[in-house]
Chains A and B, each alone.
Chain A
Amino acid sequence: MYPDGTEALSDISIRITHGESVAVVGANGAGKSTLLLHLNGFLKPSSGSVRIGDYPLTKETLQEVRRTVGMIFQDPDDQLFMSTIQEDVAFGPFNLGLPRDEVDQRVADALERMGINHLRDKPPFRLSAGEKRRAAIATVLSMTPDIMVLDEPTTGLDPLGRRQIITILREFTHTKIIATHDLDLVLDLCARTIVLHQGRIWADGQTCDIFRDEALLHECHLEKPLSMQGCPVCSAGTPED
């Protein structure tokens, strides 16, 4: 609920089980980012509750929930605020109170996993958009979260950078919740899709079923993923002489 009384989200009831990969799609302003901010305790529902694993999200469980839920923000520049990538990746583990050796090991593992070990001593502003995105994911990976929440993970990336992120995300066995406009990414990564429209859940089901429902997509200001639209050149046929 916004201060002026506008409802950002309403009647939201979702259960996501361990290991699931779920996409949250919807038009601009549908409430995707607002929904994600509830998963980490930044926003609290005006009624109802949020449960992460065995914990209800309360003031007491907030730190444990934030360790469990790794949040990757839309703009990697917001996520990378330390002087070097290495320090940024170490920020979370240090805050968890881990000993220095353990922190170093986690940093090395996260950088290795994201393939950015060579960038460890670079300041974030020297990195390309794709590198920044991978570094942002590494900052969360080093905290070994059980759930990864990603807000628009492929925005602003070139095709290769986008493909790299998709490949990396596919390897993760974590529970994944991805808010995105990139419906082809959803086809690649998420078996389940939740469609938000005007702050409400408009549909929740198998990704393939939802993307075949043209009326639903149209109503929610969405379009079929490009890979389901067929090739416009082939379907146009061969031009006659």
Chain B
Amino acid sequence: MDTLAGKDSPVHRIDPRAKVITFVVFAGCVVSFRKYEVSALLPYFLFPAVILPLGRIPMGFLARKVLLVLPIAVLIGIFNPIFDRTVLFSVAGLGVSGGMVSFTSILLRFVLTVVAALMLVAVTGFNGICATLERFGVPRAFSVQLMMLYRYLFVLTAEGVRMSRARELRSVGRAGTGLRDFSALIGHLLLRTWHRAQRIHMAMLSRCFRGEFFLRRPMRLGSADIVFTLAWSSAFIVMRLVNMPQAVGRFLLEVFP
């Protein structure tokens, strides 16, 4: 993600504040729909469809990340089709229950917001997001914590991969001693990442770190940034107020009765 954030594109050049506001409006609109709404969510895919190629973000890379967290959304909505069996409409004689519709709606909203969040990080960088939060009045202690947490994720992953490799090499394809192994691994992982994080913090302090992160590009809010935010935010609000697919369907039926 950080490598992507280091690229240069028209979207990367937009002020982080403009991008964060646009994302907040997007996420706010997407999550505010009723639980049975599906068709009205579809136009929101226009946002990633435009930003991804413009920001030179590889589609496959993002898709893999979304797939990684998708089970969470599935867990949240999996019981809807079981408990909510009210038939809302039928397609080719086959009844579609409210649970199925709400489950689909959850998945769509999840995918949209996760894609947008990843996209935001990929075109802004986590530093940019944290700096924006600070400009919007979030206390510095909080934004630095967030930044450190983000960095800690990399440390945790790197140490986790090393430990898992060492375990696999000595477990000869077996599961080891199962849960007992696992609990020891987790404990060690915590200690190792803790020590590593301490060493990194020392390296930061030795270079006079005082709780402030700096951006690759200085923040400058220009007319292009304002147009970006206003145009996308208005589009999201219109999509929220008007069910576009339904409106287009009605229009087509009127033109071609």
Q: Assess whether B99 is interfacial by the CB under 8 Å rule.
A: no
| CB-based contact A83/B207 at 8 Å | no
Give the Cβ gap from A97 to chain B, nearest Cβ, in Å. Answer: 9
CB closest chain-B residue, reference A78: B199
- The range of chain A's interface size is 20 to 34
A-B contact count (CB 8 A): 61
Shortest distance from the beta carbon of B215 to any chain A beta carbon, whole Å: 9
Query: Would you call B205 and A83 a contact (CB within 8 A)?
Result: no
Across-interface contacts of B5 in A (CB, < 8 A): 83
In the complex, B196 has a CB within 8 A of chain A: yes
- Residues of A contacting B209 with CB < 8 Å? 91, 95
Stretch at the interface among A21-29, A65-73, A183-191, A194-202: A65-73
Which residues of chain B are near A63, meaning CB under 8 Å?
Answer: 208, 210
Min distance, Cβ A117 to any Cβ of chain B, angstroms = 16
On whether the beta carbons of A79 and B210 are closer than 8 Å, the reply is no
B6 near A84 with CB under 8 A, answer yes
Q: How far is the CA of A30 from the CA of B202 in the complex (A)?
A: 21
Residue from the list B208, B216, B218 in contact with A87, Cβ < 8 A: B216
Q: Mark out the residues of chain B between 1 and 23 whose CB falls within 8 Å of any chain A CB in the assembled complex.
A: 2-3, 5-6
Q: Which partner residue on chain A sits nearest B217 by CB separation?
A: A100
Interface size class of B (residues with CB under 8 A): 20 to 34
B125 CB–A CB distance under 8 Å: yes
Which residues does chain B contribute within 8 Å of A94, judged by CB atoms?
214
List the B side residues contacting A109 at CB < 8 Å: none
Contacts of B208 in A (CB 8 A): 63, 66-67, 92, 95-96, 143
**How close is A42's CB to chain B, nearest CB, in angstroms?**
6
Residues of the A chain whose Cβ atoms lie less than 8 Å from the Cβ of B3? 83-84, 123
CA distance A67 to B210 in the complex (A): 13
Could you tell me which residues of chain A, from 113 to 145, have a CB within 8 Å of some CB in chain B? 121, 123, 139-140, 143
Q: Which residues in chain A, 22-54, are within 8 Å of chain B measured between CB atoms?
A: 37, 40, 42
Q: Is the CB of A78 within 8 A of B6?
A: no
A72 to B204, CA, bound (A): 11
Q: Which chain A residues border B2 with CB–CB below 8 Å? A: 83-84, 123
B202 to A42, Cβ gap below 8 A? yes
Residue from the list A81, A87, A90 in contact with B203, Cβ < 8 A = A81
B206 located at the interface, meaning its Cβ lies under 8 Å from any Cβ of chain A in the complex: yes
Tell me the bound Cα distance from A184 to B254 in angstroms: 88
B165 within 8 A of A: no
Check B65 for interface membership: any CB of A closer than 8 A: no
Please tell me which one of the listed residues B6, B200, B202, B212 contacts residue A121 in the complex, with CB atoms under 8 A apart.
B6
Residues of chain A within 8 A (CB-CB) of B35 are none
Quick check: is B151 within 8 A (CB to CB) of the other chain? yes
From A37, A42, A92, A121, give the contact of B207 (CB < 8 A): A92
Give which listed residue, A75, A83, A96, contacts B199 with CB less than 8 A: A75
Q: Is the CB of A73 within 8 A of B214?
A: no
Per a CB cutoff under 8 Å, which of B196, B205, B212 touches A42?
A: B205
Q: Can you name the residue of chain A whose Cβ is closest to the Cβ of B212?
A: A95
Q: Which chain B residue shows the least CB distance to A80?
A: B203
Rounded to whole Å, the gap between the CB of A136 and the closest CB of chain B is 9
A81-B204 in contact (CB<8A): yes
Residues of B within 8 A of A96 (CB): 208
| Distance from A95 Cβ to chain B, minimum over Cβ atoms (Å) | 4
Q: A37 to B205: give the CA distance in the assembly, Å.
A: 12
In addition to A66-B206, A71-B206, 15 A-B residue pairs with Cβ atoms within 8 Å of each other are A37-B202, A40-B206, A42-B202, A63-B208, A66-B208, A67-B208, A70-B206, A71-B203, A75-B199, A81-B151, A83-B2, A84-B6, A87-B216, A96-B208, A139-B207
**Chain A interface residues toward B at CB < 8 A:** 37, 40, 42, 63, 66-67, 69-71, 73, 75, 78-79, 81, 83-84, 87, 90-92, 94-96, 100, 121, 123, 139-140, 143
Can you spell out 11 A-B residue pairs with CB atoms less than 8 angstroms apart?
A63-B210, A78-B200, A79-B203, A81-B203, A83-B2, A83-B6, A92-B208, A94-B214, A95-B212, A121-B6, A123-B3
